[in-house]
Amino acid sequence: MDPARSALLVVRLDDGSEWQSNPARIDERFVPASTSKIPHTLIALETGYAGPDKAFAWDGTQRAFAAWNQDQTLASAYRHSAVWVYQQIASDIGSDTMGTWLTHFDYGNHEVGESQDVTTYWLEGPLAISVREQVAFLTRLARNELPINRETRILGRSIMQADTGPGWSLYAKTGWGSRAEGADIGWYVGWVEPDAGPAWVFAFNLDMPDEEARQQRIPLVRAVLAKLGAIVLKEN
């Protein structure tokens, strides 16, 4: 991985201490791709459109990943990053409501485009967000400062939990944004809640020219979190 083509920001919330790489890229905006499933999940829950177990029937279309080619719930769609489910969510809720909530959340540039963009605005734009803006949004989420109710916060955490260890829980989402020219954009964002001590928030993006780069997102970030003492890496 080329350090000049990636950026990482980790913040310890109790004192605001920051660890970062490539500051020049931290404020550069990119499409959020599937990291937008974090706010989209919260919107689906908060509006009453869906609970974690809401059923989404697969239409039989063979898509890129086998895990997508089956019926889903909101929770499984988040876990498998099933794009078609979130396209249905955005289409059903509507671009005006989705845009209003992204503004309430102060998520990136808030832009969802025109009505015809309702199923692609987080994949192809105009929605865009920087590493620093991801951290700011996730900080508000981790601190329970978003304008959502308690039930949404609890259900959202249950869906977004990616890992646990002795004394900590990790909530996270990857993202993969395709580009017509140049390398694809990869993301890994989230936060760590310890049983005791400070919470940590992180966001990482990188150019992904190949499969090797795609596979590096999670282990690279987790290695940094472990070195900082936020998590403990598990033995293989």
Task: Give the residue numbers marked as catalytic.
Answer: 34
Please check whether residue 106 is in contact with residue 137, taking contact to mean a CB–CB distance below 8 angstroms.
yes
Smallest Cα–Cα separation from 161: which of 69, 52, 63, 88?
A: 52
Please check whether residue 127 is in contact with residue 36, taking contact to mean a CB–CB distance below 8 angstroms.
yes
Amino acid code (one letter) for 9: L
* C-alpha distances in Å from residue 222, one per residue of 126, 163, 178: 30, 11, 24
φ/ψ of residue 161, rounded to 5: -65, 125
Please check whether residue 188 is in contact with residue 176, taking contact to mean a CB–CB distance below 8 angstroms.
no
Cα 140 from Cα 204, distance rounded (Å): 18
Tell me how far the alpha carbon of residue 216 is from its chain's centroid. 16
